[in-house]
Amino acid sequence: MIVFVGYILCLGSIFGAFIIHGGNISVILHAMPTEMMAIGGGAIGAFLVNNQPKVVKAVLANFGPLLKGSKYSKDRYMELMAMLYEILQKVRKEGLMSIEKDVDDPENSPLFKKYPTVGSDHHVVEFITDYLRMMVSGNLNSHEIEALMDNEIETHHNEGHQPVAAIARLAGALPAFGIVAAVLGVVNTMGSVGQPPAVLGGMIGSALVGTFLGILLAYGVVEPLGGLMEQKLDEGTKEFQVIKTVLLASMQGYAPQVAIEFGRKVLFSTERPSFVELEAHVKKK
């Protein structure tokens, strides 16, 4: 919702100021279809050439979540840490082998089903169970597992950054395509030098619309989407960092209560619950 509000405010302010200053909006509307064809078609074609199919699919897949609010709320993180606490508490009381069934079949595990928000997230469950499985095997120490976690988180971040970079390159190209459209308009105008001044003025105005649209699309539409996409990527990475911190603290011998406190400290201040909030939530669960 906030995305649409932002676009309405951005475009409404720009076109509203133009109209208030006496601008003739019909000139822009008349030139817009052909200019958008030149700019939009050229930019999309270059975008397809510039990116592998998997990156194009990732960009398209990101549009839906961009229009929604963030799923990484304080409640989600509290549920995540309550789930981790229960897993570690079970390990502490019954031993590592007690979670073997939960790790091997998380879809049917009562423990994961108890926390539907994070327990139904495939990526989160896979990340947790992979490293719990390594802990159960007992072949790796905490430093080796930490290195593996860092590599996986870095890979996740780099993979998620590819569509962000693709959008940034598209935003950077749009002003240039606007100039291309404007140059074509000027060429067309120069071929009609014998026309009356009123006609030539309209043709020049239409040509300049191309430059205007290229810049507006770049900095008012596409680049903000790239920035929002990057922020959501950072939020997703943060969740994995919380899991990593809690599991490593447990491997180093800290009690579950202390381990989840380590995880709480990793969170951004806007989503971080207080010590009392988290403790009360864990006890309730």
Share the mean pLDDT of the chain. 87
Count the neighbouring beta carbons within 10 Å of the beta carbon of residue 102.
18
Q: What tokens appear for 16 in the block?
A: 């509203």
Scan for tokens 């993180």, then name that residue: 77
Predicted TM-score (pTM) of this structure: 0.82
What are the structural domain ranges in the chain?
A: 26-285
List the chain pLDDT tens, one digit each, 285 residues: 788 889 899 988 998 988 888 888 887 888 788 888 989 999 999 999 999 999 999 999 988 888 887 888 899 999 999 999 999 998 888 888 888 888 888 888 888 888 888 988 888 999 999 998 888 877 778 888 899 999 999 999 999 999 999 999 999 999 999 998 888 877 777 776 667 766 666 677 777 888 889 999 999 999 999 999 999 999 889 999 999 999 999 988 899 999 999 999 999 988 999 988 888 888 776
SS3 109: coil
Q: What tokens appear for 7 in the block?
A: 């676009």
Spatial separation of the C-alpha atoms in residues 1 and 56, rounded to whole Å: 24
